[in-house]
Homo-oligomer: A and B are copies of this chain.
Amino acid sequence: MPLKDCVFSPRDIRSSTRHSRTMDQQDNKIAVVGAGLVGAACACMLSRHGFAVDLFELRSDLRLSSKLSVGRSINLALSARGLHTLRLLGVADEILERHAIPMYARMIHNVDGRTEPIPYGASGQCIYSVGRKYLLELLLFRAERDDNVRLHFDHKLLRARFHQGSLEFSTPDRDAVTKSGYRAIIGCDGVFSRVRQDVMRCGRFDFEQKYIDHGYIELCIPAKDNEFQMAVNFLHIWPRGEFMMIALPNQDKSYTVTLFMPFEKFEALTTAEKILKFFETHFPDSIPLIGRESLIQTLTTVEVSSLASVKCSPYHVGGRGLLLGDAAHAMVPFYGQGMNCGFEDVSILDELFTALGTSDLEKPFETFSEVRREDAHAIVELALYNYIEMRHLVNSVWFRLRKKFDSSLHWMFPKFWVPLYTSVTFSRMKYSECISNRAWQDKVLRNSLRSIGLLALGVSLAYAASRMRINVRLH
């Protein structure tokens, strides 16, 4: 098996049948479906509370494959909420020290080639570009080192039965394998969650999946002479109103570039000439960086990916089932909060286990459902809104002014005035409170502007009146 892109040694991968479980653990088993970022983190967190965890994954072990290579895979913007969970699991330092590229500001690329930075937060505050494959591998190793966790790859879920605590899978060897004896089944199996389909069968379950009319294609700005081709500690943005392009730096000094655009605009780019014309008009500075060949090759062959939001409620089935991460709340990627929100699910559940205990799982699960829904719905909406802001407003004067005003006020009163982006990205304030906090700020600002306006009018009138009096006296 090719392992050239894997940052870990294959010898690190332990057999998943290495230890037998005690009787106590047999009675305290939880099945986690989906060994993605949230599933792996959830398994490690559950182990902290004494659960014996079986972590099932549809796909093969990605640590044995080079398919999702580190260099060109999607990279993610890690921020406060995600980091908090990674700290909880004891893996944050390793990531930050060795594999995260700090991004302190957006770097705006104008059509004429000028670039200018807009900082994300106060001095020193940054988000981190991290490769998805690296992060997942790290979490899988972390899970595997945990004696309470067992990994099961190539397990395709056919049916989850919450009340029986059993799951049916198909594997490469067998059509149907039943695993049973679980106190609870937790679905961390992503936006098209199979577990969620079975939650739907369990009674009243509100569900919404909504696509936007825009899709995306990933491009690459490769390293040149083993160096980044653009300033490194930035998230590069080419905002163009109806569409936009962004780029995040990778460990191998390449950039993953993503072009977001209405589907019909992609469909219009049918020939090499049209593609080049389009890039020359809108993103001229990116052409030499990406390379003409690569640009045309990608845009003529790769299928445009779509973007969906998912909201649902409730997240739990009594004390027997729970949905976390994208399975519960998928969002468009424009606030960089998809993974962070999924990781935050894990830390919130951890806090609820600590506060409410684990003898009765219904209490923590139900509380999770209640406290998390409002916040998940809020960030799903914020993520949609931020696409408009990134495409339109980053380039507008009003946006810049407001950013500067917010930053200054935040600098003067760091607790009193927290800008929206700062509260979402650099704090663990509830997402719904981030929104209400912003609404309050908008109101304060409106009222202040009105007062200033009135004051200015008053001063002007007083001045005019005094001038008139002087004139009257003079005449």
Contacts and interface: CB of A to CB of B under 8 A. Distances in A.
Interface in A296-316: 306, 308
Nearest to A215: B204
A206 interface: yes
A308 B208 contact: no
Copies of this protein in the assembly total 2
A308 B204 contact: yes
Contacts of A206: 209-211
> Which of A197, A203, A204: most chain B Cβ within 10 A?
A204
A278 interface: no
A200 B200 CA distance: 15
Interface string A109-131: 00000000000000000000000
Interface residues on A, range: 10 to 19
Nearest to A208: B208
A207 interface: yes
Contacts of A209: 200, 205-208
A306 B203 contact: yes
A203 B203 CA distance: 27
A203 B303 CA distance: 12
Interface string A170-206: 0000000000000000000000000001001001111
Nearest to A308: B204
A168 to B, nearest CB: 15
Nearest to A206: B210
A191 to B, nearest CB: 12
17 contacts: A197-B197, A200-B209, A203-B306, A204-B211, A204-B306, A204-B308, A205-B209, A205-B211, A206-B209, A206-B210, A206-B211, A207-B207, A207-B208, A207-B209, A208-B208, A208-B209, A208-B210
Interface string A208-248: 11110000000000000000000000000000000000000
A210 B312 CA distance: 9
Contacts of A208: 207-210
Nearest to A203: B306
Contacts of A203: 306
Nearest to A263: B204
A212 to B, nearest CB: 9
Interface in A347-367: none
Interface in A19-63: none
Contacts of A308: 204
A204 to B, nearest CB: 4
Interface in A328-370: none
Nearest to A209: B207
A208 B204 CA distance: 13
A413 to B, nearest CB: 42
Contacts of A207: 207-209
A208 B197 CA distance: 14
Contacts of A204: 211, 306, 308
Contacts of A197: 197
